[in-house]
Amino acid sequence: MTVRRGMAVAIALFILDQLVKWWIVGPFALEAKGSVHIVDIFNLTWVENRGISLGMLQADSDMARWGLVVGTAIIAMVVGWLMTRPGEEGDRLGFAMILGGALGNIVDRVRFGYVVDYADLHFGEFRPFYVFNIADAAISLGVAYLLIRAFWPRREKETSNA
């Protein structure tokens, strides 16, 4: 994947994430509803996530909130830089997913003081995930993609001296 395509994927994920959150916060007004049953395994549930993954590092003050914004922005810049390095063609999709998701959650934290989460996947009472959003899913899938690539045996290109 080229750098340009990687950036396009990151931007597309960011826009999709923000459009869905706009709908959830605005026209759909999920906050007022609390939770809406969609199908047996999926609800839309309003959650104001003031921490990072798995509820860690709760930002209970403005200083902590802006600390998370700065920390996440630094990570996003590093991921963006990694995406542009030569030789990273195979990993660019993972970096793009992480970058797009990180930008979406940064914008939420700046705008609202928290990340808007709404996707509640469950199997009966069993909830294998916390309530999440498109940005969270993109970050998780991007990290999983990079981990699989890191541990998957790679074939070296065969070179011939003929």
Per-residue model confidence as pLDDT tens digits over 96-141: 999 999 999 999 999 999 999 999 999 988 888 889 999 999 999 9
Q: Which residue is associated with the tokens 């969270």? A: 136
Report yes or no on 161 lying in a domain: no
Q: What string of DSSP letters covers 55-94?
A: G-S---SHHHHHHHHHHHHHHHHHHHHHHHSTT-GGGHHH
Per-residue pLDDT, averaged over 13-26, amounts to 98
Q: Is residue 102 part of a domain?
A: yes
In a domain, 145, yes or no: yes
- 40 part of the active site: no
pLDDT tens per residue across span 57-71: 677 788 989 999 999
* Residue 141 counted as domain residue: yes
Task: Using alpha carbons, list the distances in angstroms from residue 102 to 52, 94, 126, 131.
Answer: 11, 12, 27, 17
pLDDT in tens, 73-99: 999 999 999 999 988 788 999 999 999
120 a catalytic residue:
no
In-domain check, residue 45: yes
Of 17, 108, 117, 120, the catalytic one is 117
Longest dimension (CA), the chain: 71
Give me the domain span that covers residue 48: 3-151
Q: Would 160 be classed as within a structural domain?
A: no
Number of domains within the chain? 1
160, exposed or middle or buried, with CB in 10 Å at 0-12, 13-18, 19+?
exposed
d(CA 45, CA 121): 10
Q: How many helices (H) and strands (E) does the chain have?
A: 5, 3
Residue 156 domain-assigned (yes or no)? no
Position 159 in a domain: no
- Measured distance CA(120)–CA(128) in Å, rounded: 10
